[in-house]
A and B are shown apart, each in its own frame.
Chain A
Amino acid sequence: MTTTHSPSPVQQERIAYRRRQTIRSVLIAAASTAVVGLILMVAVTGSPGWDRVRASFLDWRVARQALPSVLGGLWLNVRLLVFCAAGALVLGLLIALLRTLRGPVFFPMRALSAGYTYTFRGLPLIIVLYVMALGVPGLRLAGTPSVLVLGAIAIVLTYSGYLAEVFRAGIESVHPSQVAAARSLGLTYRQTMRHVVLPQAVRRVAPPLLNDIVALQKDVGLISLAGPIDAIRAAQIEVGETFNFTPYIVAGALFVLLAAPLIAVTDWVTLRAARRRA
């Protein structure tokens, strides 16, 4: 027979004290936040140049006018993001796998893979884009793809270097006993990778992978240097027409909206992984 426990006076006193302290902290935090916020707002809106800055960066009319073309450019960002993320994930995984092959006979593979990641993590993406999109077509080889495709390839090549290292870290973090257990059951190297190592490795590095994808979302816009019009470029065009910076604010807001779901997923995955391990 169980009796419900009712707290002793000592415990009640403790509870009351802690509640008082909590309320006090919350009030102080809220009040200080409000004060700082108010000061900032007043300082900004009261400064001598505020009207001009507001007119230059927060003009509703210009924003409405710029919105359609910035959205149109954003569509290019989205399409490129999907394609380049898929490509970089696949190529990155491949390069990581090459680097984890054991045995002296595979040395050339490992060297190639290492060289790849050194090169493409060192090269600025802009330079790779210039070479691929403004250089390669100059060779006038038959069957050269469009500037858009070449730019996408440049982005995939560069990001694969980063993702390969993330995957490699994941693969190497899987305990060697897992591989030993799998091989001991008679699984081949490929089967071991596919069924045992990679599922664990990818789950572990999902947070940094997603992080890189969020960064990729913005980097794909660099393709605009070769001609295509992405969201930032569309904003830039609008800015050039009006000499007003509001389109940049519009583009920035749209990017945040676009990234928000991806960032939320990243946080959820990270949280879940941490909880699982604990």
Chain B
Amino acid sequence: MLCAMVSRYRPTLLGTVTLLVVAALTACIPADEPAGTPTVAPVNATSLPPECAKAQLQTKTPGKLTIATDNPAYPPWFVDNKPENGQGFEGAVAAAIAQKLGFATGEVVWKRVTFNSAIAPGPKDFDFDINQFSITDARRQAVDFSAPYYNVRQAVIALKSNKIANARNFGDLKDAKLGAQVSTTSYQMITTVVQPNTQPSVYNTNDDAKQALQNGSIDGLVVDLPTGFQMVAEIKDAKVVGQLPLAVAQPEQFGLVLDKGSPLTACVSRAIEALRASKTLEQLERQWLAQVAGAPELA
């Protein structure tokens, strides 16, 4: 009973001192946090169950949906660094999810949040964060992921004049100096799958990595395929060398990031599943990520 009191008590300094001196001495354990993300059974209907009605959702600001992404927000995921315009693949997916959950455009608030803030323990400034986060089990210990909204492949891009421009397999990449953005699965791909002889170079942003590629400081850059195509369009004389194979049997997937134990995870996942069932996701992919088809496979 004392334990229940501790977990519901609003902390003030004096209260903390007196109460918790006792609590510490009795080695009291705070109440358990809710268990991990409940599994979402695939739903055939494209409408959401009653517990996911807009009025029931415990968003940060009642009546509004707060969505976060990083700054700058790059194409083809967003357009003009303005997520609120609903353009770009992730801009459109976020808008579709909001609409599915019953929020009008005016009721969606966008926030800019750094990578570290998104994964830090502590109350989040947002309801969910959409920013090409790949779902992994290790990361699940720290945050909640929604159902996946996109299957992603990694690719290598290089300048057409570079020695690896026509690489066909990993053997051709062994002596290459590759690069990737920090905290992405692209880097992990290099170290676990490609395994070149030299340590890869790591950059704060894809902009820096792009510059290094153009300078010739790296031979090839590993990024997800849509970003790769975008970059190749922006850099003259660059090309997509090829797609990297899947690391394990199932594909790498992007998911939304929510606070661990967030009450919204189930409903947001339902919304995504509904969009998948109604082929909305597929249509948005075709609209914003069309050029992805046809990249050669690296073995």
**Direct A–B contact in the complex, CB atoms closer than 8 angstroms:** yes
Q: Which residues of A line the B interface, CB within 8 A?
A: 38-39, 41-43, 45-53, 55-57, 133-134, 137-138, 140, 147, 224-229, 233, 236-237, 239-245
Residue contact A233 to B121, C-beta cutoff 8 Å: no
User: Does chain A have a CB within 8 A of B217?
Assistant: yes
Specify which chain A residues have a CB less than 8 angstroms from the CB of B23 in the assembled complex: 42, 46
Q: A45-B24, A240-B182, A241-B136 are in contact. Are A137 and B215 (CB under 8 A)?
A: yes
User: Does chain A have a CB within 8 A of B91?
Assistant: no
A–B pairs, 15, beta carbons within 8 Å: A39-B21, A53-B122, A55-B142, A56-B121, A56-B142, A225-B208, A226-B212, A226-B217, A227-B212, A239-B119, A240-B184, A241-B139, A242-B141, A243-B119, A245-B121
Which residues in chain B, 148-190, are within 8 Å of chain A measured between CB atoms? 179, 182-184, 187-188
Specify which chain B residues have a CB less than 8 angstroms from the CB of A133 in the assembled complex: 217
User: Does chain A have a CB within 8 A of B33?
Assistant: yes
Contact check: which of A225, A237, A243 meets B138 at CB < 8 Å?
A: A243
Residue contact B203 to A225, C-beta cutoff 8 Å: yes
Mask: chain B, 15-32; 1 = CB below 8 Å from A; 0 = not: 011001101100000100
The distance from the CB of B296 to the nearest CB of chain A, in whole angstroms, is: 26
Interface centre among B6, B121, B218 (most CB of A within 10 A): B121
Contact check: which of B6, B33, B116, B208 meets A52 at CB < 8 Å?
A: B33
- In the bound complex, CA of A224 to CA of B138 (Å): 25
Q: A39-B17, A46-B16 are in contact. Are A243 and B142 (CB under 8 A)?
A: yes
Specify which chain B residues have a CB less than 8 angstroms from the CB of A137 in the assembled complex: 212, 215-217
Q: A42-B24, A227-B203, A242-B138 are in contact. Are A49 and B211 (CB under 8 A)?
A: no
Specify which chain B residues have a CB less than 8 angstroms from the CB of A239 in the assembled complex: 116, 119, 183
User: Does chain A have a CB within 8 A of B81?
Assistant: no
Residue contact A138 to B187, C-beta cutoff 8 Å: no
Interface centre among B115, B179, B183 (most CB of A within 10 A): B183
User: Does chain A have a CB within 8 A of B239?
Assistant: no
Residue contact B24 to A52, C-beta cutoff 8 Å: no
Residue contact B138 to A241, C-beta cutoff 8 Å: yes
- In the bound complex, CA of A226 to CA of B177 (Å): 13
User: Does chain A have a CB within 8 A of B5?
Assistant: no
Given A138-B215, A227-B202, A240-B183, 13 more A-B residue pairs with CB atoms under 8 Å apart are: A46-B20, A48-B7, A48-B11, A49-B121, A55-B141, A140-B216, A225-B203, A226-B203, A240-B115, A241-B138, A243-B119, A243-B141, A244-B141
- In the bound complex, CA of A258 to CA of B63 (Å): 52
Residue contact B216 to A42, C-beta cutoff 8 Å: no
Q: A47-B11, A244-B142 are in contact. Are A134 and B199 (CB under 8 A)?
A: no
User: Does chain A have a CB within 8 A of B201?
Assistant: yes
- In the bound complex, CA of A161 to CA of B86 (Å): 49
- In the bound complex, CA of A224 to CA of B212 (Å): 13
Q: A56-B120, A225-B203, A233-B182 are in contact. Are A241 and B20 (CB under 8 A)?
A: no
Contact check: which of B115, B121, B179, B214 meets A227 at CB < 8 Å?
A: B179
User: Does chain A have a CB within 8 A of B204?
Assistant: yes
Q: Which residues of B line the A interface, CB within 8 A?
A: 6-7, 11, 13, 16-17, 20-21, 23-24, 30, 33, 115-116, 119-122, 136, 138-139, 141-143, 179, 182-184, 187-188, 199, 201-204, 208, 211-212, 214-218, 260
The distance from the CB of B56 to the nearest CB of chain A, in whole angstroms, is: 24
Contact check: which of B11, B33, B211, B260 meets A138 at CB < 8 Å?
A: B211
Residue contact B183 to A236, C-beta cutoff 8 Å: yes
Specify which chain B residues have a CB less than 8 angstroms from the CB of A49 in the assembled complex: 121-122
Contact check: which of A39, A52, A57 meets B260 at CB < 8 Å?
A: A52
Residue contact A42 to B16, C-beta cutoff 8 Å: yes
The distance from the CB of B210 to the nearest CB of chain A, in whole angstroms, is: 10
A61 — nearest CB in chain B belongs to which residue? B141
Contact check: which of A51, A134, A140 meets B211 at CB < 8 Å?
A: A134
B115 — nearest CB in chain A belongs to which residue? A240
Q: A46-B6, A46-B24, A48-B11 are in contact. Are A224 and B202 (CB under 8 A)?
A: yes
- In the bound complex, CA of A137 to CA of B136 (Å): 36
Specify which chain A residues have a CB less than 8 angstroms from the CB of B215 in the assembled complex: 134, 137-138, 140
Specify which chain A residues have a CB less than 8 angstroms from the CB of B121 in the assembled complex: 49, 52-53, 55-57, 245
Residue contact B30 to A48, C-beta cutoff 8 Å: yes
Residue contact B203 to A51, C-beta cutoff 8 Å: no
The distance from the CB of B145 to the nearest CB of chain A, in whole angstroms, is: 10
- In the bound complex, CA of A51 to CA of B30 (Å): 9
The list of the 3 closest CB pairs from A to B, nearest first, reads A240-B183, A227-B201, A46-B20
Contact check: which of B20, B199, B208 meets A43 at CB < 8 Å?
A: B20
B137 — nearest CB in chain A belongs to which residue? A242
Specify which chain A residues have a CB less than 8 angstroms from the CB of B199 in the assembled complex: 229
Specify which chain B residues have a CB less than 8 angstroms from the CB of A134 in the assembled complex: 208, 211-212, 215, 217
Specify which chain B residues have a CB less than 8 angstroms from the CB of A45 in the assembled complex: 24
- In the bound complex, CA of A57 to CA of B120 (Å): 9
Interface centre among B7, B17, B217, B218 (most CB of A within 10 A): B217
Interface centre among A47, A138, A240, A241 (most CB of B within 10 A): A240
The distance from the CB of A32 to the nearest CB of chain B, in whole angstroms, is: 14
The distance from the CB of A46 to the nearest CB of chain B, in whole angstroms, is: 4
Interface centre among B116, B142, B201 (most CB of A within 10 A): B142
